[in-house]
Chains A and B, each alone.
Chain A
């Protein structure tokens, strides 16, 4: 430990501390306070203890939304990560097409969430939408407003359209950072394309891939705007994810106590996942010299 220790550096952290205090810590404290009380408005509160937590933990509504959300995140990761890698691998590394591809890839990321939802809502409508009309002309019955499977497919396709670019850009940045010498060595050894991918490109993309998985998992686990605009959580409750359920409970029904308890549980799940991913990312390959490299 020969690092110079200068505690004056803490003063530089102070502005961030105040910002976080106002934007995160004080609201979080308020939510904790709400979660143990009941209110009928007018800023009057009545002690409820752990009642709301028990209610949320034992409610099938919360369980269903949680399971739906986990399935959704799982499907999103299973599609976007391999697809993102495949697109990044087939993108050019040199020449005039590089900026063209990059800009095309970045375009969906620039569109605001609610606009994405609206685009797909119109696109999928059976009467005027290009997709919906085309499918019904082909004789395929498709209606995301009445059929739960159609609603799920539309939301998943929409998310893949919107966010695969992020995975592509991250993987591409990992790919272009690989020195040419690795490929030369592989060519000398007569390695096949698959072996080059398996033993050079994939290991070199490990870190960016972990970041991509983390970002896509978090975003899909907290998704709200796009399915809310597209389906509003329906048909029935089939696309009601955790955040949509939470907003329904807090703002639609004004059940602030249960909504606060649910927020805390939701927050704890996210905190745990973030810690797991963060630990994986920062410790991945740190003790590599001890392990046998296969």
Chain B
């Protein structure tokens, strides 16, 4: 579907996408800045009960960044890129991200269970898997 000439964007459409992207970046910057200021202030919420650690914080920040990147991608080229890949049904970019994350979780678990605790190699396998999902599925 995306190979047809009609996929070339009209100027009005792409400027609309850029406008949405601008608004999006603006809102994210405001909300992120406000949250940052709140957590740094004296009235910061007490999150000790959540037992945060640096690795888990990095993990969740990475996921949030992935979601933000997907939103920016959507603003630049709307329509969520549906296509029928090797699974023989229509998937969107969001589906492919979900499949990548879920599959990566199982790759890490399988690595822990069958190979050992060296998870950096599992991360490498997961990245290759995610790349394959985004190109083939």
Contacts and interface: CB of A to CB of B under 8 A. Distances in A.
B112 A53 contact: yes
Interface in A24-82: 26, 29-30, 32-34, 36-37, 39, 43, 45, 47, 49-50, 53-54, 57-58
Given A33-B53, A287-B89, A268 B117 contact: no
Interface string B86-128: 0011100000001000100110010011000101000000000
A272 interface: yes
Interface residues of B, number: 25
A30 B51 contact: yes
Given A29-B56, A49-B117, 8 more contacts: A1-B79, A32-B60, A33-B52, A34-B51, A45-B53, A50-B117, A50-B119, A54-B113
A90 interface: no
Contact of A5 (B48, B78, B112): B78
Interface of A: 1, 5, 7, 26, 29-30, 32-34, 36-37, 39, 43, 45, 47, 49-50, 53-54, 57-58, 265, 268, 271-272, 275, 279, 283, 286-287
A5 B75 CA distance: 12
Contact of B112 (A1, A45, A57): A57
Contacts of A272: 102, 106
Contacts of A30: 49-51
A57 B89 CA distance: 33
B49 A57 contact: no
A135 B90 CA distance: 55
A265 B55 contact: no
Contacts of A265: 109
B59 to A, nearest CB: 7
A29 B60 contact: yes
Interface of B: 20, 48-53, 55-56, 59-60, 78-79, 88-90, 98, 102, 105-106, 109, 112-113, 117, 119
A268 to B, nearest CB: 5
A283 B88 CA distance: 10
B56 A32 contact: yes
Contacts of B20: 7
Given A33-B56, A49-B117, A286-B89, A268 B79 contact: no
A279 B106 contact: no
B113 A268 contact: no
B89 A279 contact: yes
Contacts of A37: 51, 53
A71 to B, nearest CB: 21
A26 B88 CA distance: 35
A272 B99 CA distance: 9
A29 B50 contact: yes
A57 B102 contact: no
Given A29-B50, A33-B50, A268 B109 contact: yes
A55 to B, nearest CB: 10
Contact of A43 (B49, B53, B89, B90): B49
A199 B64 CA distance: 48
Report, nearest first, the 8 A-B pairs whose CB atoms are least far apart: A57-B113, A283-B89, A33-B51, A30-B50, A45-B51, A33-B56, A53-B112, A268-B105
A283 B90 contact: yes
A250 B20 CA distance: 46
A173 to B, nearest CB: 26
Contacts of A36: 53, 55-56
